[in-house]
């Protein structure tokens, strides 16, 4: 006597589970331009590294003799894997099985995903495509849906806990609604495919029933909508592009908040000085320039990874490396609102600073901040509320900061760019004060300008005079900045700082 019969059945169940929703469902998935979940997992992870959990979970159908006839697999696939030889936990809805709407086993596996990643302290990756609950419930019931037991823990608790300890990334690769949509936004990095993904609180049928209005999924929650409102950080041109973005994002992070991101080898010379930096800031203060060009000229070549580009566009956030060390990039884009911090930009700033602080990633701030966005729309958006939250997030951060004053640094909003006890450098083009020059002169010298024979000439005379007081040299003389530097030296100064703070980063780990 042995257990051969049972082991044969194990293999049979595994084979049936891997068939997912069946050939027709897989064919339909491909016809929509989307990969199956198992194909996605294979494309994302290191070859052969996926170790599935609950591989044969689901429902089985047996014949009269008790023999196995078929399996309806759990419509959520979960397991361990590796990306660039580092362990991760990965899970996602299988859209080929009932459109990803959870069956009983799938629901259990989805809830377990966060707990598993937390237990092993490794990054969590979610690949979303599917809906949340159904009025019919996750399984067969004799009566109505009675809800979870009174002693059950909220399913959102583990989602919240992961955000405090491990990097969490989510990709929307098809229609995503309900609980999966909530999980998607409950992530540190969110990416959706351009033409095939939608994020929805409720789908077209529910919207039509509630409002009597017919809309497509794309009209309700396509990438063009969500890249502008901050629901998604980035938009990917394809599923492969989404997976490459996930890999790049994770490359700047430690496995968990109790570790430091590893330094990687860089063949980009510390002595590299880009001549373009000496003239990149126009002498004409009203002209804009490309801050991203500065980032690419200063930091390790091809290392800059931007996130949330289309939301709060006066602010730039992302990651890069300097001499192989991972750093966060926080900067202003003078092409939008002259770089002013809008309500959206402030919310973007707060989230980004807290993300960096959680995972001990040092922040490099490139400042060209004219202040909070002003005007009636800015007031309606609560700019001062969200802006103050951004300033407080910076004030409360413990991660090392270095700030390079590129151009403008004015008002309360500027305080969001200077971390506690930060290392501050200034370019010759830097100017700072309580108010931007133009607005400050108009307010302070309103009577003198209006009573002048030539108000415009008087205003310009006063602005030119006051401009001399806003250049960086008085600040350097007062030791209000550490150094004024040649812009071409920026790479060297930041690299020396990045090396210097490594002991500080290690000390921060002791506080966790």
Domain ranges of the chain: 4-136+156-251, 275-430+471-511
Share of the chain above pLDDT 90, in %: 66
Name the burial class of residue 485, with classes exposed (0-12), middle (13-18) and buried (19+) by CB atoms within 10 angstroms of its CB.
Answer: middle
Residue 470 above 90 pLDDT?
Answer: no
Whole-number Å distance between alpha carbons of 272 and 298: 9
Q: CB of 178 within 8 A of CB of 133?
A: yes
Q: For the residues 44-65, what does the mean pLDDT come to?
A: 82
Residue corresponding to tokens 């209000």: 480
Q: For the residues 78-87, what does the mean pLDDT come to?
A: 97
- Comparing 22-26, 292-296, 314-318, 450-454, the range with the smallest average pLDDT is 450-454
Q: For the residues 393-416, what does the mean pLDDT come to?
A: 96
4-136+156-251 and 275-430+471-511 have identical folds: yes
What is the DSSP secondary structure assignment for residue 381, as one 8-state letter?
T
Task: Quickly count: other Cβ atoms within 10 Å of residue 305's Cβ.
Answer: 17
Whole-number Å distance between alpha carbons of 147 and 101: 17
- SS3 of residue 91 by DSSP: strand
Tell me, what's the pLDDT at 149? Answer: 74
- SS3 of residue 81 by DSSP: strand
Whole-number Å distance between alpha carbons of 244 and 475: 44
3-state secondary structure 165-190: HCCEEEEEEEEEECHHHHHHHCCCEE
Whole-number Å distance between alpha carbons of 120 and 124: 10
Tell me, what's the pLDDT at 68? Answer: 67
Q: For the residues 460-471, what does the mean pLDDT come to?
A: 62
> Which helix or strand (DSSP H or E) is residue 240 part of?
helix 239-251
Whole-number Å distance between alpha carbons of 198 and 192: 8
- Comparing 58-62, 121-125, 413-417, the range with the smallest average pLDDT is 58-62
Indicate the angle between helix axes 37-44 and 239-251, nearest 10 degrees. Answer: 40
What is the DSSP secondary structure assignment for residue 46, as one 8-state letter?
P
Task: Quickly count: other Cβ atoms within 10 Å of residue 376's Cβ.
Answer: 7
When pLDDT is cut at 50, 70 and 90, the band that residue 21 belongs to is: confident
Which of these, 321, 323, 393, lies nearest to 361 by C-alpha position? 321
Whole-number Å distance between alpha carbons of 239 and 474: 52
When pLDDT is cut at 50, 70 and 90, the band that residue 142 belongs to is: very low
Tell me, what's the pLDDT at 450? Answer: 66
Geometric angle at alpha carbon 341, from 337 and 347, rounded to 5°: 130
CA dihedral (416, 422, 427, 428) in degrees, to 10, reads 90
Alpha helices in 275-370 (DSSP H): 291-298, 343-358
pLDDT in tens, 197-240: 999 998 898 888 899 899 999 999 999 999 999 999 999 999 99
Distance, C-alpha 299 to centroid of its chain: 20
- Comparing 2-16, 148-162, 256-270, 453-467, the range with the smallest average pLDDT is 453-467
Which of these, 37, 61, 60, 63, lies nearest to 50 by C-alpha position? 37
Output the pTM of the full model: 0.90
* Mean pLDDT of all residues belonging to the chain: 88
Residue 510 above 90 pLDDT?
Answer: no
Tell me, what's the pLDDT at 443? Answer: 47
Tell me, what's the pLDDT at 467? Answer: 61
Residues in the chain: 512
Assigned CATH for 275-430+471-511: 3.90.226.10
Assign domain 4-136+156-251 to a CATH class.
alpha beta
When pLDDT is cut at 50, 70 and 90, the band that residue 475 belongs to is: confident
Q: For the residues 101-122, what does the mean pLDDT come to?
A: 89
Name the burial class of residue 160, with classes exposed (0-12), middle (13-18) and buried (19+) by CB atoms within 10 angstroms of its CB.
Answer: exposed
Whole-number Å distance between alpha carbons of 399 and 360: 6
């Amino acid at each position: 006597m042995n257990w051969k019969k049972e082991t044969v059945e194990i293999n049979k169940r595994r084979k049936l589970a891997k068939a997912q929703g069946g050939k027709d469902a897989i064919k339909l998935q491909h016809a929509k331009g989307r990969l199956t979940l198992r194909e996605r997992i294979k494309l994302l992870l290191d070859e052969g590294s996926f170790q599935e959990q609950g591989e044969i979970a689901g429902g089985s159908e047996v014949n009269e003799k008790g023999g196995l006839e078929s399996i309806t697999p759990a419509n959520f696939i979960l397991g361990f894997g590796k990306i660039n030889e580092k362990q991760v936990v990965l899970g996602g809805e299988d859209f080929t099985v009932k459109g990803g709407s959870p069956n009983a086993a799938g629901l259990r596996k989805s809830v377990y995903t966060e707990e598993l990643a937390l237990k092993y302290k490794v990054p969590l990756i979610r690949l979303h495509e599917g809906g949340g609950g159904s009025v019919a419930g996750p399984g067969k019931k004799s009566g109505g849906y009675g809800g979870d037991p009174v002693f059950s823990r909220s399913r959102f608790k583990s989602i919240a806990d992961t955000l405090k300890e491990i990097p969490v990334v989510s990709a929307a690769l098809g229609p995503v609604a309900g609980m999966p949509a909530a999980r998607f936004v409950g992530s540190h990095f969110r990416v959706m495919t351009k033409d095939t993904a939608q994020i929805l609180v409720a789908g077209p049928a529910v919207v039509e029933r509630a409002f009597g209005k017919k809309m497509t999924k794309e009209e309700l929650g396509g990438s063009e909508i969500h890249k502008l409102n901050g629901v998604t950080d980035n938009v990917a041109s394809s599923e492969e592009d989404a997976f490459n973005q996930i890999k790049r994002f994770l490359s700047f992070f430690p496995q968990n908040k109790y570790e430091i991101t590893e330094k990687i080898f860089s063949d980009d010379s510390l002595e590299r000085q880009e001549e373009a930096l000496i003239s990149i800031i126009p002498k004409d203060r009203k002209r804009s320039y490309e801050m991203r060009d500065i980032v690419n000229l200063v930091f390790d070549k091809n290392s800059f990874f931007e996130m949330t580009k289309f939301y709060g566009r006066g602010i730039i956030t992302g990651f890069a490396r300097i001499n192989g060390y991972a750093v966060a990039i926080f900067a202003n884009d003078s092409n939008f609102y002259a770089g002013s911090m809008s309500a959206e930009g402030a919310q973007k700033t707060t989230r980004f600073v807290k993300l960096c602080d959680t995972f001990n990633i040092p922040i490099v701030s490139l400042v060209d901040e004219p202040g909070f966005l002003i005007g009636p729309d800015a007031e309606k958006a609560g700019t001062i509320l969200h802006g103050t939250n951004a300033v407080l997030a910076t004030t409360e951060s413990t991660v090392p900061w270095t700030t390079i004053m590129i151009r403008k640094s004015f008002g309360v909003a500027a305080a969001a760019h200077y971390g506690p006890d930060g290392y501050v450098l200034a370019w010759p083009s830097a100017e700072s004060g309580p108010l931007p020059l133009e607005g400050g002169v108009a307010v302070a010298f309103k009577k003198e300008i209006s009573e002048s024979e030539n108000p415009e000439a008087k205003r310009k005379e006063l602005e030119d005079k006051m401009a001399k007081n806003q250049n960086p040299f008085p600040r350097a003389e007062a030791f209000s900045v550490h150094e004024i530097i040649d812009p071409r030296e920026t790479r060297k100064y930041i690299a020396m700082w990045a090396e210097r703070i490594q002991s500080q980063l290690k000390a921060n780990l002791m506080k966790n």
